[in-house]
Every structure is written in structure tokens, then in C-alpha cells.
Amino acid sequence: MSHLRDAFRSGDIWLAHSRRYGDFKQALVPIEAAKVTPRLTVPFNPEEWLNERKARMADGLRRLAVAAKAGAIPGGSIENGILKLDRLTADVPAEADELVLDLYRRLPDVRITDMLLEVKRATGFTDAFTHLRTGAPCKDKIGLLNILLAEGLNLGLSKMAEATTTHDYFQLSRFSRWHIESDAINRALAMVIEAQSALPMARFWGAGTTASSDGQFFPAARHGEAMNLINAKYGNEPGLKAYTHVSDQFAPFATQNIPATVSEAPYILDGLLMNETGKNIREQYADTGGFMDHVFAVTSLLNYRFIPRIRDLPSKRLYVFDPGSVPKELKGLIGGKVREGTIMANWPDILRSAATMVAGIMPPSQLLKKFASHPRQHDLAIALREIGRVERTLFIIDWLLDADMQRRAQIGLNKDDSHHALKNALRIGRQGEIRDRTAEGQHYRMAGLNLLAAIIIYWNTDQLGKAVAQRKRAGLDCSPHLLAHISPLGSRPLDGHIFSSQASTGGKNSEIAA
């Protein structure tokens, strides 16, 4: 009975017409649809894929063995079969610090309320908030901006109504019910991000083809749907996480609420495949929380290059096709042999799974969690794990031999950390706690915060570009290699954050709200 239970859970055995224990393969797209999926660029013959990976792995192992023997691994070594890595050193020119300070001194003082109005005029993002019944854009832009500011600052509508002189609580509540919904927030975010990427300053930071993702913990009061979600990593208080994808141009193009107690890895593909900006990404960075063999497998199948920064990398083993042919310098790093037969037997369903994620029939995280949720896994899950082990081995080899890859990942993840700092500075209401009782209310709070952060990033990017033009007219150095180290998430020395100390509280004369 115990084995039968595990078989039902893993999907090896299923019940017809059962929602919980049905055959999940029935939800996958047909193989004919998989063959015409644009992102699925792998061969449809498994032997062809295996032969290509065998050649790559043999070449990579040879190069790694030569580097280990010569002591030429950048920032590391392999001694007696043990991998040792040094901490990556900073590589920022000394002149960049002076440039950052000067540019931020040149930014004008601005209230966050005036900033919202400026970005509205420049991007027209408020047009995304149409009436749920009539489809007409919201005519009362000030009331709409009041609501967005209340969500972003974690104040709530009642506190915002007390602060503003233009709207009472019932007016704000009515606007919120009829105009604020998930699709509208996503459309507004896309408009701001598209406008920011078109600014000249954004081109110094990247081409919008790489991204990083990370989860940020937000404490929640001990009530509502998050009351029991306690992650010891963040202390003894319950909470939730916002998992956000940030492009190389600092744009937070996707965010979703996830429980504080779950692995972040399954949600990486949600942001990439269920968002237009994410579909343009070619290289995706994540920290150890985003590391999972199934993610390695699917990102490779869909032509994404997955580059996680694995904290305990020396303890990770390599999986090879022929352990007997591995150079002696690397024997101590080998963890096992790739199960080629399992991959070949499940290849059609592997392609169907990847194509199903692209089609959006179900969120990628739902499939990935199904694959990884039980001790005894489905054959398809095991096959994906084997593919992930192959891709992880190839990645580790490239990582050890390519210091530039390590720096790219570090730079991308530093942008995530800067985003977290900005959002922590913004959520001034309710002592920073997310006190909404429902998942829907928590979602709007996180989405509003993400939109407000994107608006600030747009304004900062625009103003930094103008500051650079001022420096150039003064004959000062504005070399592109220095501008690449500038961030629209920084804060100005002495004066606090990018808006003045009055910006977070405003005043009665502010047009939008306090």
C-alpha cells in the first residue's frame, strides 16, 4: 500500500477522471505541436542530442583537466580530487566612485508625487488602467496615482485618504475596485519598462538580453493566509516572498508572490515564459535558491543559458557518460553515470513538457513542482533530472574555466540586491509588514511596489542621462566603461534616497497625496 501510494503521488499510476491523481501527461501538448514550438531548438532525435552533448562534455573535461594540472583554473584549483575556489574579487574602476557621486549630486530634488506625474506624462502608463466594465481609460488620473502610491508605499487606502486633500476613502475604494487588477498592473509595468529601455542611458547597462532573479522576504502579521509560513532563514516571524526578475537594464519586468517556505527554483521559468520581456532573455542568473537539475534541463531545452551562483559548488558532483574515460585529475569530482536509456525512452514526453510550458497551458512552476515533489519520481521527472545533470556538469566546467561568466552572474545578482534595498526603503507603511489577509490583496501590494520601483528607475535613468550630458558639456570624463557601473537604484549622499526626505511623506500642498 505504501508503494502504491507513492506511485499515485509520482504519477506512475493514475486514476481516470481524477483531478488530483489523473494522468498529467494528458495535459501536455501533442508531439506534433512540440515540433513546431519556436523556442524548442533541440533535435527531435535523442541520439543526435546525446552525441552532441557527449562531444561537448569530453572536450570540457579535457580542458578542465589540463587547467587543473597546470594550476590554471581562474580563482581555484583541484588538488587530490578536491575542488577549491577563492572569493571573486571586485573589478570596479576607482574613477567610477567619483562619477557616481557627481551624477547623483546633479539630480534635482523631487517629491515622489511629482515624480509619478512626470513619468505619467512621459510614458502614459496610466492608460493601462481601464474600467473593468466599459474598457475606458480612467479619467481621474490623480485618484489613480493616489491608489498606486498607496499600494507601492504599503500605506493602504484609508491612510492615503487621510493624507490627501483630493479624494476620500470611498472614492479611492471605488477607483480601486473598477480599475486596479493584475492585467492592468502588468500592462502599466510593461509600458514603463519599454520606455525605460529606450532611454539612451539604459544602453550602457545592457541590451535587455540577460536577467537575474531572486526572492525577497516580506514579514506578514500573524493572520491571514501567510500566518503559518515561517522560514527559519528569516527569523521566527511569518511572511511571504516576492520573486522578481530584473533585466540587465535594471527593469523589474516580472514579480510573483510565493510562500516563504518553498524553493524558488520552479518559479524562474514563470518570469521568463509568461512575460514578453522574459521571452527576449538569453542568459538567466540566479543564486543557490534557484538551483535545481530540472531547471537546468528545461532552460537548456528552451534555448536559455542558465547561470546560477551555487554557494556550495565544491560539493557538487559531475555526471558523465563514461566514468572510465575521465582524466585522473578529475576522478574525485565524478558523482555517477548519466542514464542515457531513460533519456531516450522519455524523449518525446520531454519535448512535450517543454512545449507545454511555452504554450502557457499551465505555469511552468506547476509542472516543475510536480516533477520534484515526491521521493519516488515519475519516469519523465527522472529523465529530466538526467538531462539537468548533463547540463549542470557542462555549466560547472564552463564556470570554473570562465572568470567572465562568474563576474556577469555576480553583476546580475548585485542588481537584485539593489532592488531589494530600494523596495525596503519604499514600503514605509505598517512598519514594513504585509498585513493583507488574502493572497489577492498581498499580490496587489507586491505588484504595486514593483510598479512604483519601475517608475523610480525610469525617472532616475532619464535624469542620470541628463546629468551625463551636463558632464560632457563641462568636458568631464564620461567614458562608456565607467557609465556601465552607474545604477539607477543608487542613493545620493547626505540627502537620503533618490527622492528628498520630504518625498516619502509629502505635504498638504502635494497634488497627489501626502
Average pLDDT, integer, range 369-396: 85
Single-letter amino acid code for the residue at 81: G
Residue 502 pLDDT: 30
Predicted confidence (pLDDT) per residue in 282-297, tens digit: 999 999 888 899 999 9
Asked which of 9-13, 79-83, 343-347, 373-377 is least confident by mean pLDDT, the reply is: 373-377
Give per-residue pLDDT as tens, 180-222.
Answer: 888 899 999 999 999 999 999 999 999 999 999 999 988 887 6
Cβ proximity of 441 and 181 under 8 Å: no
Q: What is the structure's pLDDT at 412?
A: 93
Query: In this predicted model, which residue has the larger pLDDT, 147 or 431?
Result: 147
Confidence tier at 375 by pLDDT (50, 70, 90)? low
* Residue corresponding to grid cell 521521493: 375
Whole-number pLDDT of residue 373 = 66
Give the lowest-confidence range in 79-88, 244-253, 436-445: 436-445
Instruction: Give me the DSSP letters along 236-302.
Output: SS-EEEEEEEEETTS-EEEEEEEETTS-SGGGHHHHHHSSTTGGG--EEEE-GGG--HHHHHHHHHT
pLDDT for the residue 339: 96
Cell numbers given for 457: 528607475
Mean pLDDT rounded to a whole number for the chain = 86
Quote the pLDDT of residue 21.
74
For the chain, give me the number of helices (H) and strands (E)?
A: 18, 9
pLDDT in tens, 7-53: 777 667 888 877 667 777 777 889 999 889 988 989 999 999 999 99
Q: Is the dihedral of CA 390, 391, 394, 395 positive or negative?
A: negative
H or E, element range at 209: none
3-state secondary structure of 436: coil
Give residue 303's pLDDT.
94
Domain ranges for the chain: 27-72+289-401, 96-199+421-483
Can you tell me the mean pLDDT for 147-167?
88
* Element at 335 (helix H, strand E): strand 334-337
Residue 275 has φ and ψ, to the nearest 5°, of -150, 135
Asked if the model's pLDDT at residue 225 lies above 60, the reply is no
Category of 164 on φ-ψ map: left (φ > 0), alpha (ψ -120 to 50) or beta: beta
pLDDT above 70: percentage of residues in the chain: 89
Higher pLDDT, 497 or 385: 385
pLDDT in tens, 112-121: 889 999 999 9
| Structure confidence at residue 10 (pLDDT) | 67
pLDDT of residue 513: 38
How many angstroms separate the CA atoms of 348 and 350, rounded? 5
For residues 245-270, average pLDDT: 92
Q: Residue length, the chain?
A: 514
Average pLDDT over residues 378-398: 93
Report in angstroms the alpha-carbon separations of 182 from 175, 251, 315, 322, 501: 14, 18, 42, 50, 31
Q: Specify the pLDDT at position 135.
A: 87
Whole-number pLDDT of residue 206: 93
Provide the 8-state DSSP code for 356. H
Q: Indicate the residue type of 12.
A: D
CB 301 within 8 A of CB 388: no
- The predicted structure's pLDDT at residue 506: 36
Q: What is the pLDDT of residue 366?
A: 85
Of residues 276 and 432, more confidence is placed in 276
